[in-house]
Every structure is written in C-alpha cells, then in structure tokens.
Amino acid sequence: MNRMSDQIGRVLGGRYRLLAPVGLGASAMVFLAEDVQLHRRVAVKLLHEGLADDEKFLKRFRAEARSSAQLNHQNIVVVHDWGGDGADATPSSPYLVTEYLGGGSLRSLLDNTRLTVPQALVVGLQAARGLAHAHNRGFVHRDIKPANLLFGDDGRLRVADFGIARALAEAAWTEPNGAVVGTARYASPEQALGERVDGRGDVYSLALTLVEALTGAVPFSADTTIATLMARIDTDLEPDERWGALAGPLARAGRADRDQRLDSDGLVTALMAVADEVGPAEPLALEATSMEGGGAVPGEGDATVALTSVGPVVTLEGAAPPPAGTEPVLAPPDQESIPAEPPGWRRSWLVRIAGAVAAIALFAGGIFLVTQVADRWLTGSDSPTTAPSLVGITLAEAQEVAAEKGWALEVERAPSDSVAEGSVMAQSPLEGEPLGPEGVIDITVSSGLPIVSVPNVRNVSLDGALTRIREGALRVGAVSEEFDESIGAGRVVSTSPTGAVQQGTDIDVMVSKGPAPRPVPEVVELSEADAVAAIERIQLVALVVAEASREVPEGVAIRTEPALGTEVARGSTVTVVVSSGLPFVTVPDVIGEPAAAAADILEAVGLVVTDTVGPPNTEVLFTDPAAGDTVREGTGIRIISATD
C-alpha cells in the first residue's frame, strides 16, 4: 500500500475524493474525503489492499457493510457507502464511507484527561443505547474501546466500526474457524477463551472502557497480554469508590460469567437508575479537529489479539508505539505504518531482526509469550558473562542459579501442555548469549496445562455432551441423574465445574431423568372447582366423573383414581369422582294395591309417603309423582286411594 500522502487526491468509486489523512492503522488508513456527487464531507476508511484478493473477506465485508448501513441510531456512526470491487481504474482496496465527525475519539480525550462520574455516565449511557439498538437487531461489535467511541461537533457520542471486526476475523490473514479479533486490553473473558461472543461481550468491554475513563487504568492490566487475558477469566470487576454511583452498574456489567452480566438494555436501565444520584455533567473538552488520535481507526495504539484454540496470537493495530501502561507489542507492525524514528523506540536493524524473531516464535509456539528484547543486550555489553541454560529446570532451581551468580530473574508464567508446572520453558537471553551489565534474564515458567473453556452442553444428549467434553481436551468425571422440570430425560442438565479450567480436568455431568413424578393430592371433601385446581396446580390433568352418593353432598369430591399419594408422571390424567347427590329411583306402580301396602312398597325404594288420601284399606287409584317417574331418593309422594 502506498503511503498516505500518495493517496491524497485519489477518487474512489468515481465519487469520493481523498482530501487529507486522519489516522493510520495496521489494517486501514482513514481520510477526510469529499463526496463529489452530494458535495459533502465524509470519512473514508481504506482497508489494506492485500484484502482485495481475499474473496472470503470481500464477501463478508460487503455483507457486514450492507447490514451495518441499516443501523439507524443517533449513537451509531452512519455508514453511507462501501466499495472496493474494482469499480475504479486504480488498484482497488475495500473501503467504507461514513459520516464525518469533528469531535475526536474518547481515546484522544483520555490521553489528556479523565472523566468525572457524571461525564462517564453520559458517555456510558450514549454508548449503551447505541449498542442496545444494534444488539436488538442481531449485531455484535466485538471491539468496543475508546478509539471506537467518536464524538460529533455537537458532542454526541457515536459507536464506530460495526461489522469491521467480524469481517477482519474471517480474512485470510487472521486465524481461521471464526476466531474473534478484538483489542486485548478490553476483551471479554469469553473472547480470552476463544469462544463465540454475543452482545454481553460488548457490554463487558464498555465497562472496562468506562473504568479507564474514570481512573486512567484498564482493569486487570498485567505485564503481558496473556496475563491480562487470564486475569479476567474467573474474576469479576470489583467496585471502586472512585466510580461513585456508577459502581453498581459497572460491577454488574463486568461479571466474568456472561450469564450473570448485564446485557445492553440492562445497562441502559441501570445507568438511568443512578442518573439522579450522579447529577449533571460538565461538557467534554473535545478535540477541535476531526477524529484526531485515530478515532476512526479500529484499535489504533492497542495490542489486538486473534484468539484461537492454540492460544493468543498478538498483532499491533496501529502505527505509534503504545503509551506507558499499555500492552507490550508482541509482533512488529507493518513497516510502512511506522513513523520515522518515534520517540523511545530504537530503529536499528537489530531491533527489527529481534521483532521478526519474536513474531516467528510466537507463531510457531502459539502459547509462549515472547517479550521485547532489551536494549542492554541488543546493543552489546562490555561484560563477558553469558547466559546459562535454565530451560528444563524448576523455578526454584533457576532462582538458586541466579542467586549464586548475582543475577536477576524476570519471571513470566504461561500455560503449556508439554512442560511440567513450575519448570522453565523459555528464556531470554538464550544460553551462551551475553548478559547485559544489569544481569537480568527473562524466563517463562510453565503454569501448568493450558486454560480451556468447559463447553456448554446443557440440553445436549448425554452421548453428544461426552463427545464435546472430550473434544475440548477435558475428561469425563462422574455421571449422575436428577429430575428436571425443563430438560427432557437423557439430556444434560449441568456440568461441574463450569467456566475456565485447566486442560484435562474431570468434568462431572448431571443428566435429567425428566420431570419429577407427582403424588396425587388430597382433594376429598373439596368442591369440584377446588379439586380440579389442586390437581392442575401440579401439572396433572383432571377428569371429572359424577357419582351419586347418600353420604357426600352434591358437587363435593368423593375420591380420586389413582388414589391419594400415588405417584404419576407429569401430565398424567387423574379422575376426580364428584358427588351428584342422592341416587335416582323410579316410582313403583302401586295402583290397585291397598293404600297401606302401597306405602310400604314406596318407602322400600327410598321414597317418603307424605300423604294418603282415602281409607288405608282401599285400593290405590294413582300416586303423585306418578308411577314410572324418576325422582331422587327421599322424594315425598302422595297416595290417592278410592273415595266415596
């Protein structure tokens, strides 16, 4: 790619004339440009020309640009256009055209100042609202950091670069299989583990960004990138009194377990809840120039990491050396993106060779963390002392050797699946190379087996779960069973432990036996409605059957089938027998019988003779109710016999 000055005046797609450089990163150059058709100023992000030959990237880039352009929210940078398909005559590079912002980035702001709690609330709320809009439409940013939070001339914050991180993750020059690219200093625990990310990963990164804005330091920062990433895997963001009323929302947004972490909608709600307590904010002292400090360049000045199954591979997204306190650079930036003789960096050929060696070692090992080579031995030393061989011995033994010689050890730990925990697996200087006058040897000590993520196998069949556990370099521990109301029988309910563990850890698996059986409840002497409700309350089905009863009042439950206490499967049918009252009888035919005898016959079937009209020894003419009528037991009946 030509240097940025050589691009000035170039017209992309026959429409966008590049006017002035704005920012430079390893993957893109950003220009102030003029849309010659609409006569307006725009920002153009011109990606590395090497990506133009990557069909997979171009396909993803076009899809992500097209999708991102659909995002319409006041806190998201507007995407106007995209190109790079060979439409213009010059060698084509993918490019993205966005709205022009004149207020700079949060990164450039934080390089000079810190935010007050009210200012951080305003910034966080605007960013969270933009993220919520995108997340609710299926977009995940994957690279939230101060450099991607831009301000317009009106002071309103916009989130930049939706879709770019995902597209770059699938480019040929990154790790395959969907590895996630993101700035290591702000990466979420799931990014550190190489897992797929969702919107809650963006919320975590925003929480770290806001903490940096308040305190000047990114939480969990360590001396190395891998140490930074490992520190946050199982550790929640702890509240700090400097965060003021934002402590609660930020702590909940910074949970290591994303299932316990706020999503973007939840963060908006949490921030709004403390707004009255925080109070009004003073205006931000924004840049007068447009997007100074690389506001539109993803990751400028930050070490970024492509996280894969073999370990972190670190590259530099940016031209300038990182400021004090940022991640160490583990692979050199593209030579053309390095300004001439930046302060504090040596530009000798030895430094460049050392950087190349570091990059090769990092690529080959995948896990070893290669630190920058100190100037004291690059430039040579008058001391004849050479470094001993420390690789293969324990840390304690290395410390004894160093103590005897009066040397100092700089110890760094990294996981290894081949070197025993506590043993030295790398050193710098190497054996036989000269030690500098300070006599310092950097060693990397194995922290044991690599950290891997326990796969989420909830609601997966047992066979499938065991396969995924073993494929994740873990061992299957105890398999047990329990009832579960939501997981079907034979599928996994949970694993223990969860989260991040050492490779080879035993993972216990709990398998569902299905819903627990239900004992038939006590419903006798309840009304029909109450009896049905009691059965349906425990997810059984009630079938009501009527039965006459001389003892139980009408409408009251007599019994259940199956009987009280019988255990049945959830969803089973339980018959509820409900009293329909006294039995029905048919009035006997007593016509022609003597009245006294007729009374005995009627009372024998449960009827009550209430009146006899006529002499008791005369023949019955009729009854009321009449013979053959159906009436309940106990019904009163009149006997009408012959009359004078």
Q: What is the Cα–Cα distance from 310 to 543, expressed in whole angstroms?
A: 60
- 452: which 2 tokens? 């891997």
Instruction: Answer for the pair 459, 485: CB distance below 8 angstroms, yes or no.
Output: no
Q: How far is it, in rounded angstroms, from Cα 362 to Cα 372?
A: 12
Q: What are phi and psi of 68, to 5 degrees?
A: -60, -30
Residue with tokens 């919520």: 132
CA angle, 27 then 30 then 33, to 5°: 145
In which residue are the tokens 């069973």 written? Answer: 481
Beta bridge partners of 82: 96
Residue 143: active-site member: yes
In angstroms, the CA 73 to CA 63 distance is 19
Beta carbons of 621 and 642 less than 8 angstroms apart: yes
Catalytic residue among 143, 263, 302, 484: 143
For residue 159, what are the β-bridge partners?
Answer: 76, 149
Return d(Cα 268, Cα 249) in angstroms, integer.
9
Number of H helices, E strands in the chain: 17, 29
What are the φ and ψ backbone dihedral angles of 387, each rounded to 5 degrees? -75, 140
Rg (Cα) of the chain, in Å, rounded? 40
Tell me the sheet residues that pair with 638.
Answer: 611, 624
Residue reference for tokens 């076009």: 62
User: Hey, which residues are catalytic here?
Assistant: 143
